[in-house]
Chains A and B, each alone.
Chain A
Amino acid sequence: MISRFVIILICLLPIMAGLAGAILPASGWFAPLGRYHFSLEPVFLFLDQPAIWTSIWLSGFTALVATFISYVLAMALLARLYHNGRAGIIFRLIAPLLAVPHITVAVGFLFLLQPSGWLIRLLSPWLTGWERPPDLYLIPDAYGVGLILALIAKELPFLLLMGVSALSQIKVNDHLDHAASLGYRPYSAWLYIITPQLAKRMRLPVMIVLMFSVSVVDMALILAPSLPPPLAPRILDWFYDADLNNQFIAAVGAVVQLGLALICCVIWISSAYATGQFIRHLTYHGKRGYMPSVLVKGCRKTLFIIAILPCLISVMGLISVIIWGFANIWRFPAVLPDQWGVRAWINTADMMFVAGFNSVMIAGISALASVIIAIIWFEQSATRYHSHMEKWLYLPLLLPQASFLFGLQIFLIWLRLDGLYITLIWVHMLFVFPYVMLTLGPTWRRFDRHYTDIAATLGASKIRQLFRIKLPILLTPIMTAFAIGFSVSCALYLPTIFASNGRMITLTTEAVTLASGASRQALGVASIMQMILPLVVFLLCDAVIRWRFGRFRHFRA
């Protein structure tokens, strides 16, 4: 019990400090700059920023639309998956995207869709007649469509993963059989009976997606409009500005982002409630929901196209990223490089080594520590199925990042903790730990206690039960949780720059810096490294599992 309190405290203290560190300067009180009185001046300064409402609107709009589309697609694909046992090509495209960092997907979009990108190269000049890149910008577009598509490409895999895990907790077949015996077609049965149960279990993941989308910085820097950009990148701009007075504006921005997140939540929850009521209404009236098969097929096709578009762009983009990493010279409109080579790898070797080393260390340690703490947590809370305390652990994912990271940094500087390795790992763990809990929780709690009970009757202590029985049996989910924790840490941008005061470089911070315009080859190299790292970890985990279970292979049917 005490250890759980400590864990909660370690997670929540920085958040509380961070929120205070944003709210106080936003109301004019900022000791480091010698301001000891409260005023509304920062708020007026904030409102005085050019086109500030456009920024706020852009953040809210892209977040809600991206989350809505990802959610609907995930729910529909889960239904398809269940009926077919597989959803074919979509799943094969989607699964690898889970491990690719957000910024890498965004770079892929850029390399594919910009006027001199691979898409136009593939079509020019034989089809388009363009010898020079046209003044045709697919990204960034005024409404943030590029950003929305990229967010979907990253969030859909996550929601599917969470959905598959949630489905395993529902007795789907029983419900469907009952419904079928009452004359409901599979699709309406799914909608009336399974969807509400699934939706309940998906609440947390969806809120995480919504909050992430509201506060996304790295993807927005590349894919969103820049005059003005969405709110989150603007907060970063004010924060970095040489004029220290802009710190107040950044603080107000952080608080406004919190408010915007709240509004988005309210919009989401009330529309979800209305939809739920509508489905309930249909259910009460016993509507069997007949749809002509042409329409069913049409829906399926549309669904397939909407789902595949973002994934296809991502995969094509990632391929063009890899090509750029090995292109010494690649002129427009050549489809492939004029001169292949590894010059970019040689030129950037020093920097990539440092950044890669930092990424591996921070991600490895924070993922390992998170898995250990998660196991301690589960073992302590095994007696009570749903712990109220556990909800608090997800708070870092349920608040927009900039809203508390900005204030947290002020405290870290004040305590002289900024820029330390240990601080960075701690801040990363705020985000890694909840994801590890999300991945590991369901399987850990479904563990068949008969095994440990038998061990107990043979006189094994709790610790011995854990090490000899539970950990070996649960090795696969533990390894998966570690790998996911690792890739979450690798992808973190804002937490890294705020916790290190911008002084520590990782592959993600390098990629964001390079993405602003330096050599595409160097950006390609950084992005390839970002794809490889999580992949290597996933493969290593897989190898460990194979090696460990290799001796049981004869037991397979």
Chain B
Amino acid sequence: MTTTKHNTSLFSQIYMMAFGLVMVAFISIFNHDPAKADHFDDIITNAKGQTVYFNAWGGSPAINSYIDWVATRVADEYDITLVHVKLSATSDSVSRILAEKTAGKSVGGSVDLIWINGENFAAMKHNDLLRSDSWAYDLPSFGYTDPVALPGILNDFGVPTDGQEAPWGRAQFIFGYDTAYVDTPPRSAAELAAWITSHPGRFSYPKPSDFIGMSFLKQILLETSPDISLFAKPVDQSSADQALTPLWQWLDAAHPHLRQGGKHFPANYTAMIQMLGDGELSIAFAFNPAEFSNGIAQGILPDTVRSYVHDSGTLANVHFVAIPFNANAPEAAQVVANFLLSPEAQSHKAHSDIWGDPTVLAMDKLPPDMQTVFAKLPLGIATLDESSLGKTLPEFHPSWVPYIEKQWADRYTGQ
């Protein structure tokens, strides 16, 4: 039984890879198809005067004002009204769209465009809640991306995007340290463990129920596991326990030397960043390369904080926008998605004073004048440039998140 299951997943892996390669070939052929441009001109014409309800997390003032800027631009350029529906959690919208589908509402839905990735994308795709005609590949701006250099564009946490979502931005796991207290930061999981032991009480991580806390556990796993290919596939009960052993060994050794003796953890990463700012911690981490520069600009962090990454690379993923199956203004939603992916919007977004979210575009696919714009972007005082960000490590299949979270709770609750 187990063997069959294993074989199936192996075949589906091969199938997925083959499919991805075909897709890449397909895209590079059609990128230069003049018919596509005409087709998109029709979409732009149809989109005039439509209103797009963009459901996106609204917890960051910087991101909100960036979306405001996008709204002004698409209003000027395409006569589209963009309304930012500020969410506290993306899953709220996912369940609303699911409720609409259950109620039989197949047109005129309340969501036109949704900011999404990972677990929520997997759930929406699985429940057929997304527009599925691979519209994302047809966006003219998609031609500026390079799925070979950045495979995350086609593969969202191990789930093929199939053109059901358009890439918007990129996140990479990044560490920050306060130079007032640390001379040379540890550049691997093993070095970090040694540093923690010799500097008790100056490191902690958010609970795994927090996204960044979970990402930290993934980062440690990727650095300590002999075989990381396992994590790209759905959790296999028979091998999962063994796969997590290196993580528990690392944590068991580190916990007694964490802040509060590993008995209490920050509720989320913003709390951890605040603790770095207070000097409680010497090292912290985030999922946005501009995080530490932003923190300095806002006065949360002292200007002695700098960023660094681990030598073997750090966890990275891509975030997307998707169009629900019952969107009320699908044409305008595509035009907005295309604008979000345009070099203009991408370079504005990457500016450290605006948002500081790295671009998903490939520099060598851009016209020379846009390359210059990107090259001239100011980097924050604590932000690493593209080359210093180093290698990226792949995301886990979404099924690992609840699994690791439960195992962690079972091990470390009530100790």
Contact = CB atoms under 8 A, between A and B. Distances in A.
Is B one of A's binding partners? yes
Interface of A: 50-51, 54, 115-116, 131-133, 135, 137, 140, 142, 225-228, 237, 242-243, 328-329, 331-332, 339, 347, 502-503, 513, 516-520
Interface stretch (B38-46, B258-266, B353-361): B258-266
Contact of B280 (A116, A331, A347, A513): A116
B270 to A, nearest CB: 5
Main DSSP-derived SS at the A contact region: loop
B413 A50 contact: yes
Contacts of A328: 299
A329 B299 contact: yes
Contact of A51 (B88, B263, B280, B414): B414
B336 to A, nearest CB: 22
B415 interface: yes
A226 B207 contact: yes
Contact of A242 (B91, B267, B272, B280): B91
B90 to A, nearest CB: 11
B140 interface: no
A332 B278 contact: yes
Give 10 closest A-B pairs by Cβ, nearest first.
A51-B414, A517-B271, A329-B299, A135-B201, A116-B278, A50-B413, A132-B279, A516-B267, A517-B270, A133-B280
B368 interface: no
B409 interface: yes
Contacts of B409: 50
B172 to A, nearest CB: 22
Contacts of A132: 181, 278-280
Nearest to A339: B299
Given A242-B402, A328-B299, A517-B274, A140 B264 contact: yes
B263 A135 contact: no
A217 to B, nearest CB: 14
A331 B270 CA distance: 16
A517 B207 CA distance: 12
Nearest to B272: A517
How large, as a class, is the contact surface on chain B? 35 or more
A113 B329 CA distance: 52
A332 B302 CA distance: 10
A142 B415 CA distance: 11
Interface of B: 59, 61, 88, 91-92, 119, 181, 200-201, 207, 209, 259-260, 263-272, 274-275, 277-280, 299-300, 302, 402, 409-410, 412-415
Nearest to B260: A137
Nearest to B268: A517
Contacts of B415: 227
18 contacts: A50-B410, A54-B414, A115-B280, A116-B275, A116-B278, A132-B278, A135-B201, A137-B264, A227-B263, A331-B277, A331-B302, A332-B279, A516-B268, A517-B267, A517-B271, A518-B271, A519-B270, A519-B274
Nearest to B408: A50
B260 A135 contact: yes
Given A116-B280, A135-B201, A51 B413 contact: yes
B279 A133 contact: yes
A228 B201 CA distance: 21
A227 B267 contact: no
Contact of B88 (A116, A133, A228, A513): A513
B201 A516 contact: no
Nearest to B410: A50
A438 B209 CA distance: 41
Contacts of A517: 266-272, 274
B66 to A, nearest CB: 15
Contacts of A520: 274
Given A115-B280, A116-B280, A227-B415, A519 B266 contact: no
A513 B414 CA distance: 24
B357 to A, nearest CB: 19
A135 B259 contact: yes
Given A116-B278, A227-B265, A227-B412, 15 more contacts: A133-B279, A135-B259, A137-B260, A140-B264, A142-B263, A226-B264, A226-B265, A329-B299, A331-B277, A332-B279, A502-B88, A516-B268, A518-B270, A519-B274, A520-B274
A503 B99 CA distance: 15
Contacts of B201: 135
Nearest to A243: B402
A228 B267 contact: no
A74 B234 CA distance: 59
Contacts of A225: 263-264
Among A142, A228, A331, A513, chain B packs the most CB atoms within 10 A around the CB of A331
Contacts of A513: 88
Contacts of B269: 517
Contacts of B181: 132
A272 B309 CA distance: 62
Contacts of B260: 135, 137
Nearest to A131: B279
A243 B277 CA distance: 35
B199 to A, nearest CB: 11
Contacts of A140: 264
A106 B299 CA distance: 25
Contacts of A331: 277-278, 302
Nearest to A515: B267
B411 to A, nearest CB: 8
A116 B276 CA distance: 11
Contacts of B279: 116, 131-133, 332
Contact of A228 (B270, B275, B414): B414
Contacts of B277: 331
Contacts of B271: 516-518
A225 B61 CA distance: 31
A519 B298 CA distance: 10
A480 B50 CA distance: 52
A516 B212 CA distance: 14
Contacts of B59: 518
Nearest to A518: B270
B264 A228 contact: no
B301 to A, nearest CB: 10
Nearest to A348: B61
Nearest to B278: A116
A50 B409 CA distance: 7
A401 B78 CA distance: 51
A142 B267 CA distance: 17
A242 B259 CA distance: 29
Contacts of A54: 414
Contacts of B275: 116
A50 B274 contact: no
Q: Tell which of B92, B119, B207, B414 has the most Cβ of chain A within 10 Å.
A: B414
Contacts of B266: 517
Contacts of B92: 502-503
A132 B265 CA distance: 19
A339 to B, nearest CB: 7
Q: Of residues A115, A131, A237, which shows the largest number of chain B Cβ atoms within 10 Å of its Cβ? A: A115
